[in-house]
Structure 1
Amino acid sequence: MPAADAARSALTGRRRFLAGSAVALGAAATVQLPFSGAASAAAPALPDGLFRLGIASGDPLPDAVVLWTRLAPDPLNGGGMPDAPVTVEWQIAEDERFRTIVRHGTESAVPERAHSVHADAKGLKPDHRYWYRFRCGGQVSPVGRTRTAPDPLSSGGKLRIALASCQNWQQGYFTPYADMRAQDPDLVLFVGDYIYESTPSAAAVRVHEGHGEPYTLGQYRNRYAQYRTDPDLQAIHAQAPWVVTFDDHEVDNDYAGQVPQDPAKQSHEAFVARITAAYQAYYEHMPVRAAQVPNGPHVQMYRRFDYGRLVRLNVLDTRQFRSNQVTTQAGAEDPKLTMLGARQKEWLLQGLHRSPAQWNIIASQIMMAETDLKLGAGKLWYYDAWDGYQVERNALMAELQKVHNPVVLSGDRHLTMISDLKKDFAHPSSAVVGAEFVGTSISSGGDQDLAAFHKEWDPLKADNPHWKVIDAHRGYHLFDIGQSSVDAQVRVVDTVLSRKAKASTLARLQVRSGRPGVQLLR
């Protein structure tokens, strides 16, 4: 774009933003609000392309939602911002053209937080759709759309949730998000592996930035920034609010607590420093509240969201408090092992047993149902999942039997694995206590050989009679939740090796109120 045209475009955007600004302290008003001259005078000169990482919203409450962006004109080289705080204005409106501004404010984007913005827009209406945008340095962001949760006392209604996980930049394009956007979910639930810490591979579909695994804060920031440049990811972030939690690849493959996958190569002190950097970069790139600001190598990620009396969503952290991963059947049956830690386990059980909701959803990064990998007699478990923590898992299954309509939504496996949850997986006749949907990956694993997958996995169905659907397509799961049922679709794409893909429904399933377990419709 010629310089004169660029200048006119920036001026036009600024005029539109100013014209749409309004004071809103309660009821929406239509008074124009010019920017503070002092703030403008103090602002440093800024490069073009401040909003190259897009915008997002998340953690919706009945009266509030988090609005996110990060100023990064040079995303893969530290962001490209001056080493100084920058004032960013945000607006949230009742309409896409911002004729009715209902809330606005300013945030200080500081270099210590990678010039990220986490505006907690409060005083909003329950169960209401809004549009939002940011402005900084004469530049205006794209427009995003979000939605608040219903009033806590409201009953009835419906909720559409999309479940996603495991998006490996090198193993494919994020094509499932284009279809997810077309399905228009009310909420996107992302249960882990937003980035991968793996080294760049010249043979990959698209290559990771950098020269190795990230260890420092700057390296993690660059890796997140690369992922955030994906156009399909940006588009779905801008269309619906997200609720997120992390799994292992946001830090280090298969880490547990403060134990890395390779303790002989990473000292405890070095790994704690790595966790500290990874958690900070995670916060900087996610639409989460100030309660999720890390304290060194610690971060509060387990949290709860109520959607009226329809859904209670319990979001777990199955990495930070778990005992070190075992490698044997005897180890998996050690009663001292924990996945959740004592405090999180108590929080979860209290939230489930005291819930007023029709549906009690648990977002678990890793699979809860059993995976028996040994044909015939005996067991061979998948130890990185809840199978590696048998005593705590079995105790939780017994508790779920006393919970109204429990449904677990998980990720991690790069497979669709939909199961009944059993009180005791050692006995096939044991009571069904709930349902679990393990969502496949967005791109991790690439385009798998489906015939080879079924040749390997189908013989295991006899040893895992609780499985209802297993599949290796890339995609996501879509849930329409109402009072009487959870209606689920397994949405898949035919490829992630090109930017264009065809999407379809692989399977339809249903969980009926008062009937634990899941039924395959087709």
Structure 2
Amino acid sequence: MKPVARPSQHALELRAAARHIGRRRFLTVTGAAAALAFAVNLPAAGVAGAAELDAARITEDPFTLGVASGDPLPDSVLLWTRLAPAPYQPDGGLPAERVTVHWELARDERFRRTVRRGTATAHPEFQHAVHVEAGHLEPGRAYFYRFRAGRWISPTGRTRTAPAQHERVSSLTLAAVSCQAYHDGYFTAYRHLAEEDVDVVLHLGDYLYEYAVNAVGGQRNYTDRTLPDLFNRETVTLEDYRLRYALYKTDPDLRAAHAAHPFVVTWDDHETENNYADDKPENDVPPEEFLLRRASAYRAYFENQPLRRPQRPDGPDMQLYRRLHWGRLAQFDVLDTRQYRSDQAYGDGSDIPGPEVDDPARTMTGETQERWLLDGWRRSKALWNVVPQQVTFSQRKFDLTEPSRVSMDAWDGYRASRRRVLDGARAVGVDNLMVLTGDVHVGYAFDIKDDFDDPASRTVGTEIVATSISSGRDGADKPANWDTYTTANPHLKFYNGRRGYVTVGLGRDQARADFRTVPYVTRPGAPVTTAASFVTEAGRPGLTQV
């Protein structure tokens, strides 16, 4: 088989330039690239030698962005916060000085049984974000955590460690979320998710959007507040992205979900720019300029998410794909289908597939990540192999006529890449494959077929697509194209256009997916209901509605 394409020497040189561009070149690059050059070339934490700020001098609550935890391992979990007493100011309301932050982890919510405590430094180079890898913990246990800076104490968060990797765990409940455009509505679904009994939340991309947010918050239509004009522009610079995360993380429902559950995050496109592919931007922008923008977006993403040290970016590059385990019940292979993909065939939208989509040199994941995925399956001892990723994996025809249009931005535009993944799963005997997807602002449930054009072909797995938290505004239970999609795609078992999230319960005998939806997001306070539930039996792929 023809190997997938490797990055060209030119692409490698552009990355190197974006990684090392500095003040000396500030006047030699042009336009937005010049503005970005100085912002991206920040020293590593602790290198700049910033003075230390006495935390007792902080006069306003610095924990306005809440707390979060993530990437639970059997003996450790990542704890996050970011100091920002004035979150809507570019400096967060703090001088460019480092701050000592105290943290503690306890078995109880009142912190009477503290098991770990320590200090961390909030560096101005990383916008006073704090990432604590709290270790020496017991597997499979819930913990409570909090931070202190001066006289200020953060909200309390609840997290948990994963079970020991060899343990025969009987059950796991996860939630999958995606696509939270602030300007499209309220994050009400997160308030309900904060009250769910789940072990971990998987965020599948589009944590923020690069588009402008006006003074009334778009569809939120605020009457009791006015957002600063600095949000009313597209994010391009490091400062823009940092401020946009501050806007999103001041949302109380998002903060509540982070405080209630550990998150495992991966990005899609809007954390940087719509529909970008590797170093190719959406619009006609020079690659070196886009890579500078990407470096800013990646840095701000790391600063504002509960991610471990291996995910710390290096200029415009950041290894976000990684593997987590939940005992011997589940293995999570978290993918990045944006950073390494070939450019979309025939444009970014929908089109009739041509020979390019079957070109084996084209890739959705990049050669290294694809090999990592298949090797991980080969070594897996888990009952369920779960793949949290971004764009629709199953075939999704848009028309009743043949040939039908499909999305060039999803796996339908990378059919050879999808074929290699499915062949690899079959070759190593993956029996219980579950793909978790975001991106499309609707809820889907698919049977993954060995041959999507033959409804009688073998079902090889399940794809659960989480609808958006707010993107797409209120939506509808039955979108206008419901009849067309369900007829053209017989492997599509469920299709709903409301906002919300999905919970998935994994057990030894079966998995159950509950699609949780809210009727509106353009005003606050919507109730949550279960739109539909499906099960798939272990060892017998295929969805059944219950």
What TM-score do you get using the length of structure 1 for normalisation? 0.89
Give yes or no for the alignment of 1:477 onto 2:502.
yes
Give yes or no for the alignment of 1:284 onto 2:303.
yes
Query: Cα distance, 1:43 vs. partner?
Result: 4.8
Query: Cα distance, 1:236 vs. partner?
Result: 0.8
Tell me, yes or no, if the aligned pair for 2:220 and 2:522 is still in contact at 8 Å.
no
Measure, in 2, the Cα distance between the counterparts of 1:92 and 1:44: 22
SS of equivalent residue, structure 1 residue 205:
helix
Summarize the Cα distance change of 1:211–1:179 in structure 2 as closer, same or farther, 3 Å threshold.
Answer: closer
Measure, in 2, the Cα distance between the counterparts of 1:43 and 1:381: 55
Query: Cα distance, 1:260 vs. partner?
Result: 0.5
Question: Which residue does 2:22 correspond to in 1?
Answer: none
Instruction: Select 2:358's aligned residue among 333, 338, 342.
Output: 333
Letter in 1 for 2:397: D
Instruction: Select 2:125's aligned residue among 108, 112, 123.
Output: 112
Map 1:34-433 to 2 at 5 A: 43=55, 45-78=57-90, 79-201=92-214, 204-206=218-220, 210-262=231-283, 264=284, 266-327=285-346, 328=351, 329-330=353-354, 331-401=356-426, 402-433=429-460
Measure, in 2, the Cα distance between the counterparts of 1:240 and 1:76: 26
Measure, in 1, the Cα distance between the counterparts of 2:213 and 2:305: 23
Letter in 1 for 2:75: D
Query: Cα distance, 1:41 vs. partner?
Result: 8.7
Q: Which moved more, 1:390-399 or 1:414-423?
A: 390-399
SS of equivalent residue, structure 1 residue 142:
coil
Measure, in 1, the Cα distance between the counterparts of 2:55 and 2:445: 53
SS of equivalent residue, structure 2 residue 195:
helix
Summarize the Cα distance change of 1:41–1:235 in structure 2 as closer, same or farther, 3 Å threshold.
Answer: closer
Question: Which residue does 2:534 correspond to in 1?
Answer: 509
Letter in 2 for 1:254: N
Number of residue pairs the alignment of both structures matches: 479
Summarize the Cα distance change of 1:53–1:43 in structure 2 as closer, same or farther, 3 Å threshold.
Answer: closer
Runs of 4 or more consecutive aligned structure 1 residues displaced over 4 Å after TM superposition: 39-44
SS of equivalent residue, structure 2 residue 143:
strand
Query: Cα distance, 1:42 vs. partner?
Result: 5.1
Give yes or no for the alignment of 1:442 onto 2:484.
no
Measure, in 1, the Cα distance between the counterparts of 2:249 and 2:169: 36
Measure, in 2, the Cα distance between the counterparts of 1:373 and 1:352: 32
Superposed CA deviations along residues 302-340 of structure 1, whole A, max 9, x for unmatched, are 001011001101100000000011125113222211001
SS of equivalent residue, structure 2 residue 112:
coil
What TM-score do you get using the length of structure 2 for normalisation? 0.85
Superposed CA deviations along residues 189-247 of structure 1, whole A, max 9, x for unmatched, are 00100000012346822377523111111110000000000101000100110000000
Give yes or no for the alignment of 1:496 onto 2:517.
no
Query: Cα distance, 1:374 vs. partner?
Result: 1.9
Tell me, yes or no, if the aligned pair for 1:397 and 1:424 is still in contact at 8 Å.
no
Query: Cα distance, 1:376 vs. partner?
Result: 2.6
Identity of aligned residues (%): 44
Measure, in 2, the Cα distance between the counterparts of 1:395 and 1:154: 31
Query: Cα distance, 1:489 vs. partner?
Result: 0.3
Tell me, yes or no, if the aligned pair for 1:420 and 1:518 is still in contact at 8 Å.
yes
Measure, in 1, the Cα distance between the counterparts of 2:195 and 2:68: 17
Aligned-residue Cα RMSD (Å) equals 1.6
Summarize the Cα distance change of 1:42–1:48 in structure 2 as closer, same or farther, 3 Å threshold.
Answer: closer
Measure, in 2, the Cα distance between the counterparts of 1:460 and 1:241: 35
Question: Which residue does 2:34 correspond to in 1?
Answer: none
Measure, in 2, the Cα distance between the counterparts of 1:85 and 1:206: 36
Measure, in 2, the Cα distance between the counterparts of 1:46 and 1:461: 57
SS of equivalent residue, structure 1 residue 470:
strand
SS of equivalent residue, structure 1 residue 112:
helix
Summarize the Cα distance change of 1:465–1:127 in structure 2 as closer, same or farther, 3 Å threshold.
Answer: same
Which ranges of structure 2 fall in alignment gaps of 5 or more residues? 1-50, 222-226
SS of equivalent residue, structure 2 residue 369:
helix
